[in-house]
Structure 1
Amino acid sequence: MSGAHDNGNPPRKRKLIEVALPLEAISKASKADKDRKVGTIKNIHKWFAPMPAPAWRALLFAATIDDPGDAARRAELLDIIEGLVPDKGTAPSEEALKRARAALAEQGSELPTVLDPFCGGGSTLVEAQRLSFPTVASDLNPVPALVTRVETHLVPSVLGKPAVTGSGDGFEGIADDPMAGFLADVEHYARLVEQQVREQVGHLYEPVEGGEVVAWLWARTVPCANPACGIPLPLYSSPWLSKQKGREAWLRPVPTGRAIRFEIGEGAALTVPNATKKDGRGGKFTCPACGTDVDEKYIRKSGLEARMGLQMLAIAIDDGTVGRRFVSDSSDSLGAGVDVPVDAPDLEFPAQALGFRIQAYGLKSHQDLYTPRQLHTLGAFADAVAKVPSWVQRDGGDEVQANAISSVLAICVSKMAQANSSQTRWRLDSRNGSAKAEPGFGRQAIPMLWDFAEVNPFGESVGSWYAQVTTVSAGLKALPRIPRSGVVRQMDARKAGSLVPDGSALVATDPPYFAQIPYADLSDYFYVWLRRAASGIHPDLFGTMATPKTDELIANPYRQGGPEKARQYFIDGFVDVFSSLKTASRSDLPMVVIYAHRQEENKDGEMSSSAWDALLEAMIRAGIGVVGTWPIHATNSTRQRGQASNALASYIVMICRPRDAAAVSVDRRGFISALRQELPGALKELQQSSIPAVDLAQAAIGPGMAVFSRYAKVTEPDGSVMRVREALACINDELARVLSEQEGDFDADTRWCVRWFEQYQWEQGSFGEAELLANALNTSLHALEDAGVVKARAGKTAMLRPEELPSSYDPVLNHRTSVWEVAVHLSRVLEGKGAGSGVDAAGVLLARARPRIEDDSIKELAYLLYNICERKGWSDSARRFNNLVSSWPDLQTAARAAERQGAVPTQDSLAFDATAEGDEEDLLF
């Protein structure tokens, strides 16, 4: 554990979370949970940036259980945690849960109430209930408050009850499940809702000959900028409708009179016309009739002048075979008497908001996101669900059942909106090869989409009522079967401590991420439909026309009058939050706070983060100190999104306790001295956990702030108090110093390579400079060339890029092996494609290098090289070395497997004759 310290105070009993965690197991389960598409509580409703459930399960147990101080017993407790986090991200077995509950019971003290004032998607509370903790949750936003109320209060309240409409026996093979009756009721009343809605709006969805309609594909239009043409110009990004092998289909625009109609082309071998979109970025389109270009400025002006329309591109049909078939349609369903309903949601978008750009195109209110018939349909579903409580009670169900069933169906309506608006994309690369609709909110924003898919609400594909009920039911099945109901309130987090008696709670929360996600503005998208469907049974949640925004704790510069005022608002708000939570927290328990926002380089080249600065400053002002941190790797951003995304690959778990009332002050020199004493060991622990290199600086904040926050104050030479931002700068400086000092542990060849790489990366430098550096480090250019990592020609010297290295490299047969050499070859194999590449092949190479090179030295070199690359702005190389670190646990597993399979030779076999040595180029490891 990084950062734990007693500061000379009487020892207190530490919790396991302050000493040890099985990070690799937790991270593996968290990654798997992130990747799972079905059978998880994420299926219940969309929320933004949720914390993986397995991580919470492990953290809550470890934050409550005492560290035994005995290595053997500690190993048993860590084994219990590993049982709680199956590597496929699924729920733990009942046996694993019994072991965990028994260990908590053996401790003797009553389980604390888990309190989360930012409940979000509910994973904290769901996993707390799974471990039998009582729970209390709150959120200012009614959308997550309802979702968490369903998960932790309403569903537990109906467990074991027979179905209102029958026993529920045999329901999907789970007759013995205490949730079976409830799930049977959900399915039953969902059918009644669909039946009523179909009678009301089914005529708006005319059947198409040849199969069931999956989606109608639309494009927005603007008048052509050429006055002599003036046709409605369809704005679409790609001509492709399907790239499924054997089912290829694409659009062929055909100018006809004063319009463009579309024919469907088929087959991969034919020449496919370009889309009207002219390039990969921005909004520049070409008229297929006259060739005139229109740019985004013109499109925005057309939208603001109400000259933007819609045109159908094609209809996707499921004809009962594998794949999709497409037909063109010359009729205009929107012009066939379908008007916007009078009761459509007229909630306006904010004039400016984080993540919103649609206002600039004339889309001013929520109803502008939908086609007229989508508005009719969603309204009809919401109104039908609002009647469900009376239906349930008419059929003999009690009020609890009525509220639970109708709340789940209201969530289904809200989820239905996610795939029934102009935010729904047509995706060509689905898992089974068939093109399909992709619901909105692929990222935390409402962007402007030129073309979109309008799904069939009465079908069985993405976005249909059937699909929502099916996926939400699957999410409900992932909930624990604990009949104890939790408490959920819609409340400002500043007051959440009042929900529990003072000194009774285990505080565990994942607070909002500063200015990264506009939670309230985004969730109005769901709120308008939830309010229409569920305000009758949840008047405490839906008493306002929109989600509360004035007290939302994010740094929104549009709402708070600029970036600096927004930052100060965030700090002041969280001082109140942490002060309240400190009062609520049980004195023997730490607070567990998750944060996942990385530092950025400012204009002066220093690493800083307004998000981290603000959150930590609020903690310290509230009298709370960080006593340690853990990195949980829940995603691997390096392969998917790259360095340019600035995405964290890890969540940083901060373990916090109230700062000692007797804390002393120290000057800047004393603070840096303490950092230098404690940070190297903490960083070594972080590196041994294989935290991705991209996150090392972020994770180092934990042990660094543990030092800073233990003092009452740190004074600068001029007598002023050191601010958090300056403390973070000191921590970053010490991180760079520690990483540089690790260079001294490397062999001479590696030290030369590091120095040269830092100066030139893969570019050429002068031979004379290279020779001088080699002499100074007690090596030679000839030796480096002989090792195969450097090329020196015509007075110039350059490092060989990993892809330039020979594929025949084998460290066993290499008479001169350096850490650099093994590291770059590992990167080459790991990043490569085809035979002899990938994790397994890299594991063989690592196993064969082990007799000469220590694993830790390779990993330390990768951390150092990443740090250099990030400082220099070398994103491609930074990604490469970060990937090497991130893959380290898998590489070690592969290396152990290779050793068991005999891939590493014995000492006797290392002797080879001159003939074999001469054939070295042909040897493959």
Structure 2
Amino acid sequence: MALPLDAINREAAREKSIRHGHPSTLHLWWARRPLAACRAVVCASLWPDPADGNCPLIDPEIEATERAKLFDLIEELVKWENRNNPRVINAARLEIARSIAANKVADKELKDDTPLVANAPSLPEEQAKYLPKPPKEYTAHDLRFKMPSLTPEQVNHFLAHYAPPVLDPFAGGGAIPLEAMRLGCETTAVDINPVAWFILKCTLEYPQKLAGQTRLLPEFILHNDTFMAEFFKKAKGYGKAETRAALKRLHDRFKKKPKRKAKDDQISFQFQQEPDEADNELQADLAWHVPAWGQWVLDRARRELAQYYPTYADFEPIKKDEIAYEHQPMRLVPLKGDGTPDIDSFNDEFTQEYLDDKRNPRWVAKPTVAYLWARTVPCKNCRATIPLLKTRWLCKKSNNRVLLTMEPNAEKSGVTFGVQYNVPVVGGNTAQRREHDKRIGAGTMSRAGADCPCCGLKTIMTMEDIRVVGQVSELG
């Protein structure tokens, strides 16, 4: 087998930086193969090599020319922008159909002049219902010699009825079966991992079965003005005035029909039901149902987990024009019933007129952008909880030096953390500055073991002690 490896490797490397529209953004799969490479390998597995002595298609005198043509086609096929290019995809499918037809004629499974539509083997009902109407009659001879009268519909018909199936028993993220389907092959993808199974269902089965179909958006998302405004704008093509009018119609509808609080097990996925043509304005395809249900999952997760991810508020103006105001310590924001921060409860003391002026300070929620965590171990001397940190530097850039501070708490049972900003640079030369930074940023852990910040003993826990604690499941 020969392949244009340089072109394939180049496109496979380029694909790693592509995010929009790539299946990898749907869900992480650790061993996902590049789509470009899979597309090329599927073709190479189904096309005959013109230089192979067993090739039933090629005249030895033109094998070099034919191989060059196939190389050129693969180089076009592996490009990301050609993944849905009808001209390129149809050319690849024709080569696959041509190869299969030639092999079947050579093996006497088909005759050159056999009408392939009239004699097509029957397919299972579940598979046949997704196929278009049969095309005009054609023969294996038309495929083998790529007759000008041959149409893409005839090629697709041949692949659906005569092509051997492509089976991937360890499909994982589904790159190989996806590309086999793209090239017109009947494909079976299997994986024992439930995450992989779900990825395969969402990337291979649902889009194919539900393409072009619409269903009514679920009722819970109709109450989300942000989502619905985006839906009316992008899916329906409404302008600003039309979007406002559509949202008003929704609000009026809710007044007549109050929102029902459905239990989680009573919510059904509309695409499992038959289409309802009663309300065309709220009909959406699968591409809109997915983010709608994603919002449902997000709302549930926020409600259940918000208490573990607190939000704090700063007292500051929204529009900062160097106006003097009294700074106040950050405050923990209480939560609403849906898990969102209730910042309004902090600003109830201010009038609406005061809040309308963005130069006036008020409490502003500051969502946490990152969480730092560390393993912990109990000190064998004082039993305080020791965080195992190799360094306390959070940022050590020349213009942004931030250090994590750590002091014993009042009970000496653990430590209280803080953040020191604008840490000064100390030292006359680079070596002195490096040594000073190493000393003030030292954590509690080194190769020798762990120091206890509460009782002050150095290397109170050796690495062997820490290993033993971990073995008895006391490592935090």
Q: What TM-score do you get using the length of structure 1 for normalisation?
A: 0.28
Structure 1 residues 171 and 58: CA distance shift in structure 2, 3 A: farther
In the other structure, the counterpart of 1:30 is 12
| Secondary structure in structure 2 of the residue aligned to 1:241 | strand
Q: 1:79 to 1:162 in 2, by over 3 A?
A: same
Question: Paired residue for 1:74, among 62, 67, 85?
Answer: 67
Spell out, residue by residue over 1:119-140, the C-alpha distance to the aligned partner (whole angstroms, 9 max, x if none). Answer: 1111110111111111012223
Q: Give % identity.
A: 29
List aligned pairs for 1:601-750, cutoff 5 A.
none
Work out the CA distance in 1 between the residues paired with 2:179 and 2:19.
Answer: 19
Alignment partner, residue 284 of structure 1 = 449
Map 1:317-396 to 2 at 5 A. Answer: none
Structure 1 residue 116 corresponds to structure 2 residue 168:
yes
| 1:97 equivalent among 75, 89, 92 | 89
SS in 2 for 1:298: helix
Residue in 2 aligned with 1:190?
294
- Contact kept in structure 1, 2:403 and 2:423, CA below 8 Å: no
- Structure 2 counterpart of 1:55: 37
The answer to whether structure 1 residue 253 and structure 2 residue 245 are counterparts is: no
What CA distance in whole angstroms lies between the structure 1 residues aligned with 2:393 and 2:22? 33
Q: Which has the larger radius of gyration?
A: 2
Whole-Å separation in 2 of the counterparts to 1:244 and 1:159: 51
* 2:312 counterpart (208, 232, 245): 208
Aligned equivalents of 1:172, 1:24: Cα separation in 2: 43
1:204 positional shift: 4.7
Distance of aligned partners of 1:73 and 1:40 in 2 relative to their CA distance in 1, 3 Å threshold: same
Give the match for residue 220 of structure 1: 375
Which residue type is aligned with residue 41 of structure 1?
A: P
Deviation sequence 1:639-676 (CA, Å, 0-9, x none): xxxxxxxxxxxxxxxxxxxxxxxxxxxxxxxxxxxxxx
In 1: Cα distance, 2:374 partner to 2:166 partner? 48
Aligned to 1:213, the other structure's residue is in SS state: coil
Residue 464 of structure 2: aligned partner: 297
Q: Find the counterpart in structure 1 of residue 442 from structure 2.
A: 274
Number of residue pairs aligned between Structure 1 and Structure 2? 283
Task: Tell me how far 1:196 sits from its aligned partner.
Answer: 4.2
> In structure 2, what is the Cα distance between the partners aligned to 1:137 and 1:306?
40
Match of 2:285 in 1: 181
Distance 1:91 1:242, change over 3 A: farther
1:192/1:148 CA distance change after superposition, 3 Å: closer
1:125 to 177, 183, 192: 177
Distance across 1 between alignment mates of 2:166 and 2:175: 12
Q: Which residue of 1 aligns with 2:121?
A: none
1:260 maps to amino acid: V
Please tell me whether residue 240 in structure 1 is matched to residue 406 in structure 2: no
Q: Is the 8 A contact 2:31 2:173 kept in 1?
A: no
Q: Secondary structure of 1:252's partner?
A: strand
Give a deviation string over 1:566-620, Cα, whole Å, max 9, x none. xxxxxxxxxxxxxxxxxxxxxxxxxxxxxxxxxxxxxxxxxxxxxxxxxxxxxxx
In the alignment, is the contact (CA less than 8 A) between 1:240 and 1:251 conserved in 2? yes
Shift of 1:205: 4.0
Q: For residues 197-245 of structure 1, what are the alpha-carbon distances to aligned partners after superposition, in whole Å with 9 as ceiling and x for unaligned? A: 44455445432113112233222221223x2x44211112332323566
Q: Is the partner of 2:374 in helix, strand or coil?
A: strand
Equivalent AA in structure 2 for residue 274 of structure 1: A
Structure 2: how far apart are the matches of 1:30 and 1:89? Answer: 13
Shift in Å, 1:111:
2.7
Runs of 5+ in structure 2 lacking a partner?
51-57, 102-161, 223-227, 238-283, 315-365, 426-436
Matched to 1:302, the amino acid is V
Does residue 157 of structure 1 match 2:209? Answer: yes
Contact 1:125 1:137 in 2 (8 A): yes
**1:218 aligned counterpart, secondary structure:** coil
SS in 1 for 2:443: coil
Change (3 A) 1:189 1:301: same
- Give the Cα separation in 1 of the matches to 2:399 and 2:235: 40
Answer yes or no: is 1:64 the counterpart of 2:64.
Answer: no
Deviation (angstroms), 1:30: 1.8
- The whole-number CA distance in structure 1 between the counterparts of 2:186 and 2:13 is 27
Alignment of 1:44 with 2:26, yes or no, is yes
Q: Which has the higher contact order (CA 8 A, sep 6+)?
A: 1
Find the aligned partners of 2:397 and 2:165 in 1 and give their Cα distance.
52
Residue 291 of structure 1, CA deviation = 3.9
How many angstroms does 1:182 deviate by? 0.6
1:405-461, Cα deviation, whole Å (9 max, x unpaired): xxxxxxxxxxxxxxxxxxxxxxxxxxxxxxxxxxxxxxxxxxxxxxxxxxxxxxxxx
Letter in 1 for 2:196: P
Q: Distance in 2 between matches of 1:245 and 1:93?
A: 50
The Cα of 1:306 is off from its aligned counterpart by: 4.9
Matches within 5 A, 1:876-915: none
> In the alignment, is the contact (CA less than 8 A) between 1:83 and 1:92 conserved in 2?
no
Secondary structure at 1:195's aligned position in 2? helix
* Pair 1:112–1:237, CA change in 2 (3 A): farther
Alpha-carbon distance change, 243 to 151 in structure 1, aligned in 2, over 3 angstroms: farther
Judge conservation of contact 2:171–2:196 (CA < 8 Å) in 1: yes
In 1, are the aligned partners of 2:390 and 2:442 still within 8 Å (CA)? no
CA contact (8 A) 1:29 1:89 kept: no
In the alignment, the residues of structure 2 paired with residue 243 and residue 129 of structure 1 have an alpha-carbon distance, to the nearest angstrom, of 51
Change (3 A) 1:29 1:269: farther
What amino acid does structure 2 have at the position aligned with 1:215?
Answer: A
Note if contact 2:83-2:89 (Cα within 8 Å) is conserved in structure 1: no
Structure-2 residue corresponding to 1:481: none
Q: Which SS does the other structure have where 1:250 is aligned?
A: strand
Is the contact between residue 82 and residue 88 of structure 2 (CA under 8 Å) also seen in structure 1? no
Aligned partner of 2:130 in structure 1 is none
For structure 1, which runs of at least 5 residues remain unmatched after alignment?
A: 1-17, 310-925
1:307 deviates by 3.8
Asked if 2 retains the 8 angstrom alpha-carbon contact of 1:32 and 1:89, the reply is no
Paired residues of 1:220 and 1:234 also in contact (CA < 8 A)? yes
| Contact residue 35 and residue 175 of structure 2 kept, 8 A | yes
Partner residue of 1:901?
none
* Change beyond 3 A, Cα 1:77–1:219: same
- Asked if the contact 2:32–2:173 (Cα under 8 Å) also holds between the matched residues in 1, the reply is yes
Q: Is the 8 A contact 1:30 1:89 kept in 2?
A: no
Aligned counterparts, 1:544-583, within 5 A: none
Query: Aligned pair in 2 of structure 1 residues 196, 263: CA closer, same or farther (>3 Å)?
Result: closer
Q: 2:196 aligns with which of 139, 144, 157?
A: 144
- Cα distance in 1 for residues equivalent to 2:235 and 2:87: 20
Is the contact between residue 239 and residue 274 of structure 1 (CA under 8 Å) also seen in structure 2?
yes
1:396-411 correspondence runs (5 A): none
Equivalence for 2:78: 85
The 3 A distance-change label for structure 1 pair 198 and 50 is closer
Measure, in 1, the Cα distance between the counterparts of 2:233 and 2:421.
40
Corresponding residue of 2:357? none
